Structure 1
């Protein structure tokens, strides 16, 4: 019997100019460790008169992790951050009690050129004791993240702890996110290296595990303590992510995450009433869906 609990296929949805492959949440698996939401952006060709413009919207109860593979995005938020993110670096925004932000194509890229945008938008739920902390933002350049080689593969520890290393991303719970790019066929040695629940997201190529072949655009979910052999085909690109699950349930509505439904309702009403802090100099506003 396979010890892969689930194989989750991306489900596409259209958010205007982008086709997004929703990986988490999934009806049979709401979270993997503290990871509660993963969106696959692109790859999409944009430019000319079509750019990325995600207007001002709110978050509570989570940290967002933006990781680009291609293209660049300008992030601005209500605590005054203005940060460009390029491939391989990490934007880590902790919403806590509430933050608003925008994500747009940088102004100097709006010159008629066309370019690829490809990356991941990830939400990590905050532990209950940190749900209402003050919002914060950190940018970690690509060259500050731990990287190493192993048997024809390149590893990068994007966030958390794993493989005896620690990322400088200031996380609030026991978690890991690891990027692995295999030039040659490569066997993942995970046992004892990662703690808690584990997801394997196949960006490119294919993975063989427990006698099954899993192609790009899918995610596998398993347990670190009993994972079977996982082999990456040559040219395969994956992300490993997960960690220790929380003892209590998390609820999610739109861009809000909380350990109580009452907190969600308060956040919804605050956004409707325009009581969230605003991005300086930006009057855009994404209405609460269904309001």
Structure 2
């Protein structure tokens, strides 16, 4: 029996002035562990007149994880944070009861040519933390734990796995790791993973159970304990997952909650502009129909 439960292709989605490859949610698989949403952003070339500009917009009930491969994003939020996100760093914003943020090309890059490429991820909060106070935690690239295993390079970007713990302050049992190899290698991680597990191929390919899988798809395992595959030359994959929650999560626009009434209240509050404001910003993303 195959250990692959679902294969999720990247689908194009529009997030305003930017096209992304949407990976989660998917109709047959809404979440993988606590991971509720994954967008592959770019790679995109922007000229001197093009910039990323996502005006202030709200979130509830989740943590956002932004991880860049190339380029830079200026993050501003209603907590008063103003942080430039650069490649290899982890920007982890926990929305809890409600936070607002904007994402823009930094001022020093706005009039030059640039590239942008990365992942934007939502991790749902456990039910008892859905209404927690919002927080922001930024982890620098050099603080992400790294190990070599059987000739393969692994970074533990978030969570705890393989005997390493990321400093990113997650709120449930999960893992988000980068696996990179220049040569073909066997990768056996089943003894270390738990809960549900997904694998996203960024570049290169992997071989599993007689099949070759190429970039821009997520492979969801039937059993994370059986996670083993052959990684191809010059390949980078991301493995993510963890313990699923007992309750269903509802997702509407930028809101995640166990109860639809919480989402409805967030909708009304955003319509009435009752969420906290991002200092210095006057624009906002209107509530979609």
**TM-score (norm. length: structure 1):** 0.97
Tell me, in whole angstroms, the C-alpha distance in 2 between the residues paired with 1:46 and 1:185: 34
Structure 2 Cα separation of the partners of residues 20 and 83 of structure 1 = 22
Would the aligned equivalents of 1:210 and 1:228 in 2 still touch at CA under 8 Å? no
Cross-structure match for 1:129? 128
**5 Å matches for 1:115-154?**
115-154=114-153
Report 1:15-54 matches (<5 A). 15-54=15-54
Whole-Å Cα distance in 2 between the matches of residues 224 and 182 of structure 1?
A: 24
Q: Which structure 1 residue ranges, 5 or more long, are not aligned?
A: none
Match in the other structure for 2:86 = 86
Gaps (5+ residues) in structure 2? none
C-alpha displacement at 1:115, in angstroms? 1.7
Matched, 1:76 2:79: no
Q: Secondary structure at the match of 1:267?
A: helix
Aligned match of 2:193 = 194
* Secondary structure of residue in 2 paired with 1:230: strand
Secondary structure of 1:5's match?
A: strand
Compare 117-126 and 222-231 and name the one that shifted more. Answer: 222-231
Q: Distance in 2 between matches of 1:285 and 1:228?
A: 43
Residue 251 of structure 2 aligns to a residue in which SS?
Answer: strand
TM-score by length of 2: 0.98
Task: Write out aligned runs for 1:82-231 (5 A).
Answer: 82-111=82-111, 113-231=112-230
User: Which residue of 1 is the match for residue 56 of structure 2?
Assistant: 56
Aligned residues: 289
Residue 150 of structure 1: how far off its partner (Å): 2.3
Instruction: Please give the alpha-carbon distance, in whole angstroms, between the structure 2 residues aligned to 1:228 and 1:88.
Output: 25
Partner Cα distance (1:116, 1:196) in 2: 35
2:264 counterpart SS class: helix
- Give the stretch that moved more between structures: 172-181 or 17-26: 17-26
Q: Distance in 1 between matches of 2:149 and 2:142?
A: 18
Go from structure 1 to structure 2 and tell me whether the alpha carbon gap of 1:228 and 1:105 turns closer, same or farther (over 3 Å shift): closer
Question: Match of 1:242?
Answer: 241
Deviations 1:124-168 (A, max 9, x none): 000000000000000000110101122332110000011111110
Contact 2:184 2:230 in 1 (8 A): yes
Residues of 2 paired with 1:15 and 1:25: CA distance?
Answer: 15
- CA shift at 1:47, angstroms? 2.9
